[in-house]
């Protein structure tokens, strides 16, 4: 009985290793990955000679609880899929799940002498930007999965990439907390903000006076 159980365990292990083949995937990433912007990627791997179900999921590591914007803080959007000669590969079906920031599709069979190129971008929502205190290791995480095999990204044995640290602006309000002036005086109000983050910030400022506080006599 012990011999039978041992043989069964070995068979199950070998079967699992054979059924989950490795798919080396080359992932080209942008020079900088930032919040409030589209971050473009190119993925390349060898055709699998069969219909393929794949998924790319994105998430933000070490972020605070999000109260607005995209539920997951990020979203994968595929722009195009092409083969080695540049011809379009049209998915049989696709779906986007904004709750987990993922894109998934069923791709037609592509010859193993050909290559698949997936051009996509990941939108990182402005809502992930912290307020007040910087987060030192805010990272974009993307996980690749295949219906029958396992992706190995950029020469590793992992199907998850965490190599991109997210850059973001972080505004600190250095303005005075109060102003002193007399009746009918004219004074200059100074508003000072410092960007202590890791990305530039383009800011448009407008002022809307609260006329309900003005006493007219």
Tokens encoding 40: 């473009």
How do beta strands 22-28 and 150-153 pair? parallel
Question: What residues pair up with 39 in beta bridges, in sequence order?
Answer: 122
Look at residues 162, 153, 163 and name the one whose alpha carbon lies nearest to residue 118: 153
Q: First-to-last CA distance in the chain?
A: 101
> What does the buried/exposed string (b/e) look like for 6-45 if buried means 16 or more CB atoms within 10 Å of the residue's CB?
eeeeeeeeeeeeeeeeebebebebeeebbbbbebebebeb
Residue-level pLDDT, tens digit, the chain, 217 residues = 444 343 434 333 333 444 468 999 999 999 899 988 889 999 999 999 999 999 999 988 876 555 565 667 899 999 999 999 999 999 999 999 988 889 999 999 999 999 999 999 999 988 888 877 777 678 899 999 998 899 999 999 999 999 888 998 888 888 888 878 777 788 888 888 888 888 887 778 787 777 776 655 5
CA distance 97 to 201: 29
Q: How far apart are the C-alpha atoms of 27 and 43, rounded to whole Å?
A: 5
CA distance 192 to 206: 14
Q: What are the structure tokens assigned to 31, written together?
A: 């020079």
Whole-model pTM: value is 0.77
Contact indicator for 51, 97 with CB cutoff of 8 Å: no
Question: Which of these, 60, 211, 197, lies nearest to 133 by C-alpha position?
Answer: 197
Q: How far apart are CA 76 and CA 98, in angstroms?
A: 9
- Where do the domains of the chain lie? 21-167
Rg (C-alpha) for the chain, rounded Å, is 26
A 10 A CB-CB count for 160 gives 14
Spatial distance between the Cα atoms of 74 and 123, rounded to a whole number of angstroms: 5
Question: How many angstroms from the chain centroid is the CA of residue 39?
Answer: 8
Task: Classify domain 21-167 at the CATH class level.
Answer: mainly beta
């Amino acid at each position: 009985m012990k011999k039978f159980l041992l043989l069964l365990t070995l068979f199950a292990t070998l079967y699992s290793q054979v059924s989950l083949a490795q798919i080396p995937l080359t992932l080209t990433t942008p020079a900088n990955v930032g919040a409030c912007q589209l971050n473009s990627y190119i993925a390349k791997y060898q055709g699998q000679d069969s219909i393929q179900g794949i998924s790319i999921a994105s998430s933000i590591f070490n972020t605070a609880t999000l109260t607005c914007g995209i539920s997951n803080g990020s979203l994968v959007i595929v722009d195009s899929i092409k083969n080695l000669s540049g011809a379009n590969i049209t998915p049989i079906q696709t779906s986007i799940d904004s709750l987990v920031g993922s894109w998934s599709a069923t791709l037609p069979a592509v010859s193993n002498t050909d290559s698949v190129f997936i051009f996509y971008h990941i939108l990182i929502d402005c809502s992930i930007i912290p307020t007040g205190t910087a987060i030192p290791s805010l990272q974009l995480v993307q996980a690749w999965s295949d219906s029958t095999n396992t992706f190995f990204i950029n020469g590793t044995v992992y199907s998850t990439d965490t190599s991109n640290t997210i850059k973001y602006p972080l505004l600190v309000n250095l303005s005075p907390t109060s102003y002193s002036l007399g009746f009918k005086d004219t004074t200059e109000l100074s508003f000072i903000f410092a960007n202590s983050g890791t990305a530039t910030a383009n800011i448009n400022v407008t002022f809307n006076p609260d006329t309900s506080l003005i006493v007219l006599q």
